[in-house]
Structure 1
């Protein structure tokens, strides 16, 4: 039996403990839970028992070392606030554990360098859970490019749209403070930049970016004529008719994990997206040159009427055009296995000389476009087998995905292009 402990028990932890208990119980065991909040640990233990698992010891965040000493896990799963990922990743490796971390691996270049140094020193395995690599649509794109369908890819245009349900959620919770998340160019776009690295089998060289808060925040709301403001949705009269408000009392998951737990740590999950204190951008454009000379133009907006992405590849033998429309729930509110469920997708191939054709892509079950079940199998199954697409993401993959976003943040702040290889050393 391989033993796991989980640190950070917000909405994302459920994705991992549900899988371990329901699908991989014959070969895995959860032996410990760690969090800053006792209520969330109690709720997690209760839910694990309801799923058929067992109650396990719980440890406050300052007893992380004690948890490892007493429960002897083989691997730590890190699902804490992004800015603390590095602390638990590094300490776990120093104490002899392998690590699986939620994306992003960390939020800035200094923490990234510290992780790389400790991994090199300890030799422990560090996996980053990039679900989207495993989605059949994205795997098919990698396969087409590998098979020279459109030749050498020279240019990519990548547009990602977060809707007013999902996108707004980053402006209600801890992500709204850039110190916690690195902003959406790190927290969210790490998925997208990793996909480009994966598709191209290359790494970013130079990054230039623009970004601003243009829709959310108090100033933008005032400019649109909003008259009534509130700090948080709970017990607010003004929030009752606000389509952007999150009412945690209406969701048993959110109520148990956050509303009932906030008296311990003061974390408010339902802040107004049109309040003060937001330091992340909601509208971003990025230009990247890769080591293989390919060019990427990328945009991210967090207030679109629909959710999903369009990506077009131009190669020296043709072009791929891809559209993916998704349905995403608010994190912590619904079934973690259904986040990013596909509603529609298409891949059209345009040979340079020949008739265009569209590939049939059946809708896949599971979150992140069908990627979640395949990722979990790769992480936890003893029968995962060899993967010709090499989708398993290492610490180096985790670093290269966030470094595009970190460089973009630096470019936004300085107005200058940023060389990625000047940020860290492997």
Structure 2
């Protein structure tokens, strides 16, 4: 029986807690967080409550509870400290993405992995989506030949996208911004699909729609947080925190512990992350990628186009074709209530295009990826497609985002290799 503990008792922890309790070879033995009420909420949903610890006492928890593997689902900027503490205690680690939010702490993680011989796995669940697995299979078998370039556009709608601007993610010091926290998923997918390493990055971006300057678009209401605010009534950008039992227990009922507000106004001053971002990446294979992230789109999904020496692959995924006014004040959990679709097309040279047949899969949990991922990461399933992401994979995705952030500051291309410092490589 492998003994697991979780540090970070927010909403993302639930997926891992549920998976551990469902695995016959796994046992949840402890929770750690800065907020006791959140840990109490999770324990209330368990058949058998587990001991709880303050996050500052993580090392003592790992020793006392004889933890084999730590799962890190805390605020992004705290990941590195927890990961290194666990590795030095002789534990393996599963961490939510991003692995961390800056180059210095990334180097510390890579050093700790090397020193201790312990393992870090990064929870890049998009690798486990059956559609993304098919893309990798097609590219790996040469369906479109040698890859010359990639265009990748990702759209977060005004329900999901807005949520990053209500909570701790809106502070770049906490999350690294969307290029680290969100786009890291997408950068990892391209690294995995192409079997390539990013070398140079150029980026442009701004905070266009949300924040104080976004008030010019005419959507802003006058309130600090939506709960209890008359000004939030009928606002499609207001989160109904009290209307979701789990969010209420994890956040609204836990505010007395640390004062954290989960339902801030998305048009507040002081937001330090961008919502509209364009990135150009060059890889060691010679391929390039143009990438765009929009966090205020009317629909949610993504378009991928890969150009090769034998043709072109095109993928369009519509996760929700619009945002229903009735569901605007909710968070993205499970399948969206609106319509969605997936099309994957190969366009060979000198021949008609053809649709790739896809196996039916759930719209829940990122297309069924969450359950497939936890089965592998927790050790209950085999991984013939090598979807498990290592510390090196986590670093490469992170460094692409960090290079893009630095490029935003410098208005110049940034070489990825120089970010970790002299003598340190991913």
Q: TM-score range by the shorter chain?
A: over 0.9
Deviations 1:8-54 (A, max 9, x none): 00000000011111x30x211000000000000100111112xxxx1
SS in 2 for 1:215: coil
Query: Does the Cα contact within 8 Å between 2:209 and 2:217 map onto a contact in 1?
Result: no
Distance 2:231 2:167 in 1: 19
Give the equivalent residue in structure 2 for 1:198: 192
SS in 2 for 1:360: coil
Q: Aligned in 2, Cα 1:261/1:180: closer, same or farther, shift over 3 Å?
A: same
Could you state the TM-score of these two structures normalised by the residue count of structure 1?
Answer: 0.94
Give the equivalent residue in structure 1 for 2:37: 39
Deviations 1:119-153 (A, max 9, x none): 11001010001110010110000000100000011
Q: Determine whether 1:11 maps to 2:25.
A: no
Q: Aligned in 2, Cα 1:345/1:395: closer, same or farther, shift over 3 Å?
A: same
Q: Which residue, out of 144, 153, 156, partners 2:147?
A: 153
Give the equivalent residue in structure 1 for 2:128: 134
Q: Which residue, out of 390, 395, 399, partners 1:399?
A: 395
TM-aligned CA deviation for residue 376 of structure 1: 1.4
Please tell me the root mean square deviation across aligned C-alpha atoms, in Å. 1.9
Question: How many aligned residue pairs are there?
Answer: 416
Query: Does the Cα contact within 8 Å between 2:226 and 2:238 map onto a contact in 1?
Result: yes
TM-aligned CA deviation for residue 230 of structure 1: 1.3
Distance 1:340 1:119 in 2: 42
Match runs of 1:125-274 below 5 Å: 125-221=119-215, 223-225=216-218, 228-274=221-267
TM-aligned CA deviation for residue 397 of structure 1: 0.2
Gaps of 5+ in 1: none
Give the equivalent residue in structure 1 for 2:378: 380
Match runs of 1:365-376 below 5 Å: 365=362, 366-376=364-374
Distance 1:378 1:250 in 2: 34
TM-aligned CA deviation for residue 398 of structure 1: 0.3
Query: Does the Cα contact within 8 Å between 2:159 and 2:332 map onto a contact in 1?
Result: no
Distance 1:331 1:155 in 2: 38
Could you state the TM-score of these two structures normalised by the residue count of structure 2?
Answer: 0.94
Distance 2:336 2:3 in 1: 26
Gaps of 5+ in 2: none
TM-aligned CA deviation for residue 380 of structure 1: 2.0
Give the equivalent residue in structure 2 for 1:410: 406
Distance 2:315 2:383 in 1: 27
Distance 2:171 2:158 in 1: 19
Q: Aligned in 2, Cα 1:360/1:263: closer, same or farther, shift over 3 Å?
A: same
Deviations 1:326-347 (A, max 9, x none): 1499999575x65899931011
Give the equivalent residue in structure 2 for 1:299: 292
Query: Does the Cα contact within 8 Å between 1:233 and 1:272 map onto a contact in 2?
Result: yes
Distance 2:214 2:271 in 1: 11
Q: Determine whether 1:361 maps to 2:354.
A: no
Give the equivalent residue in structure 1 for 2:343: 346
Give the equivalent residue in structure 2 for 1:64: 58
Give the equivalent residue in structure 2 for 1:74: 68
Give the equivalent residue in structure 2 for 1:276: 269
SS in 1 for 2:31: strand
